[in-house]
Amino acid sequence: MDRPQGQTRIAMRELLYNEHCLIQTAAMHAALEMLPTFPENKSLTIVDYGCGQGVNAIEPMEKILSSLPNGAIASLVFEDTPWNDWPTLVETIYNKMHTISQPGRNIQLFLNLVPVGFYDHVVPKKAADVGLCWSSLNYLKVQPNLNLDPSAPPSEFIAARRKAFATAAHQDLIEFLKFRASEIREGGTFVAAVGGQKPDSNTRPTNTGMAPLQAAMLKLVRMGRLTATELAQFALFPSHERTPEELQNALAIPEVADLWEVETVEPKLIVHPAWETYQKTLNMSGQNDVKQKEALKNYAQASLQNLVSSSGWFWLEVLKKSRGSHWIGGQDLLEELTRVAVQEWVENFENMKVEIWYTYLRLKRKGANA
Ligand SMILES: C[S@@+](CC[C@H](N)C(=O)[O-])C[C@H]1O[C@@H](n2cnc3c(N)ncnc32)[C@H](O)[C@@H]1O
């Protein structure tokens, strides 16, 4: 086993991610139709790579299990980094156990929780029939080093970051797919929803809703609540949002193409469900200014809480490094950041629609008998 300590430290905010991950749930829902079925299998192993706190792991597993014949045995593997909120995952699984176990169908279940990180072996060779990966492939194995002139303009920083992170992401994906190819048996399937950027052929970009948050961060720097150095570290968040073309390039590399048959590479634009709620509320509130403002605030809050619960754990790591591990102001600072960002959104980003391009992958493990 590789030492995960050498890898990027990443996790979602304890307890909060499950509650606020609405767009990730929408992204997973858009993949349900791509899942394989197993009406002949007496036994089956499904692995969720990057399961997080589990709220989006259960439904796809349930759907696959529902295709099994009565009396089958199924092994469910939940994998994430050692820093994941494992207690919340356990509680999520426990609360859903009555439906996962397919009542009345006599499916025997075995659960495995694997805290190793997916740039490593997660299950033994050829042990898995299906690998799933929801909103998790954008995180990089190691944070690339960016040696930048601090006086360089922001556009140079953005370009240098994108180049270094794209190169790392390309290597990571090749490594990830090689690991999965050793674990998923010949003929087995890997399905992923990969959050990223628009396809070359489309003009509408991904909008994660980061702009008001960035404005709020700058405000906190001006207020002396964050330092410019901490802010620069936040910007090195170890994630690369790939285009479908970048994914296709990695899949075409011979060492990957020898292992995987590409069944689907499909971009889909996923809209934040809070946007739909906001539009409905606007329609119902007529000319009522107070109701409209309230609806906008709720939309901004839902979108920002999603971002902060996904990225806040990493930001707190940066702050603890900068302020010392005993620093205890993290929760307050994230709450303040969210409050200021909501205000920014309401004042300056009123009509901003949060929507993210996802690329959906369905790959089949090649092999003699596949
Ligand atoms: C945005 S969350 C998605 C969680 C869940 N799959 C979902 O759809 O809600 C990304 C997850 O990927 C996990 N992750 C990132 N890098 C990882 C790695 N190298 N190994 C395992 N999990 C990783 C994070 O810890 C986090 O739980």
41 burial (CB, 10 Å; 0-12 / 13-18 / 19+) is middle
Residue whose CA is at the smallest distance from ligand 1 atom 16: 139
Q: Cα–Cα–Cα angle for 274, 275, 277, nearest 5°?
A: 65
Task: Tell me the C-alpha to C-alpha distance, in Å, between residue 305 and each of 37, 55, 114, 152, 368.
Answer: 35, 16, 27, 32, 48
Q: Pull the structure tokens for residue 179.
A: 């690991």
Mutating to test ligand 1, I would choose from 139, 239, 270, 306 the residue with most ligand atoms within 8 A of its C-beta, which is: 139
CB 84 near ligand 1, within 6 Å: yes
Cα 332 to Cα 314: distance, rounded to the nearest angstrom: 15
Cβ atoms within 10 Å of 52's Cβ, excluding its own: 26
Report whether CATH 3.40.50.300 matches the domain 4-206+241-272+354-365: no
Beta strands in the chain (DSSP E): 43-49, 73-79, 108-114, 128-134, 184-196, 260-271, 355-365
CB 12 near ligand 1, within 6 Å: yes
**In the chain, where the domains are located:** 4-206+241-272+354-365, 208-237+273-352
Tokens 């929780």 — which residue?
113
Residues 6+ apart with CB under 8 A from 223: none
Handedness of CA 146, 149, 150, 155 (dihedral sign): negative
Smallest CA-to-CA distance from 37 within 362, 369, 368, 366 is with 362
Smallest CA-to-CA distance from 370 within 207, 260, 247 is with 260
Backbone angles phi, psi at 365, to 5 degrees: -70, 120
Sheet holding 43-49, edge to edge: 108-114, 73-79, 43-49, 128-134, 184-196, 355-365, 260-271
- Look up the pTM and report it: 0.96
Separation of CA 142 and ligand 1 centre (Å): 14
pLDDT in tens, the chain (370 residues): 555 557 899 999 999 999 999 999 999 999 999 999 999 999 999 999 999 999 999 999 999 999 999 999 999 999 999 999 999 999 999 999 989 988 899 999 999 999 999 999 999 999 999 999 999 999 999 988 887 776 778 888 888 899 999 999 999 999 999 999 999 999 999 999 999 999 999 999 999 999 999 999 999 999 999 999 999 999 999 999 999 999 999 999 999 999 999 999 999 999 999 999 999 999 998 888 999 999 999 999 999 999 999 999 999 999 999 999 999 999 999 999 999 999 999 999 999 999 999 999 999 999 865 5
Mutating to test ligand 1, I would choose from 58, 136, 239, 356 the residue with most ligand atoms within 8 A of its C-beta, which is: 136
Task: Tell me the C-alpha to C-alpha distance, in Å, between residue 79 and each of 9, 19, 71, 76, 356.
Answer: 15, 20, 26, 10, 24
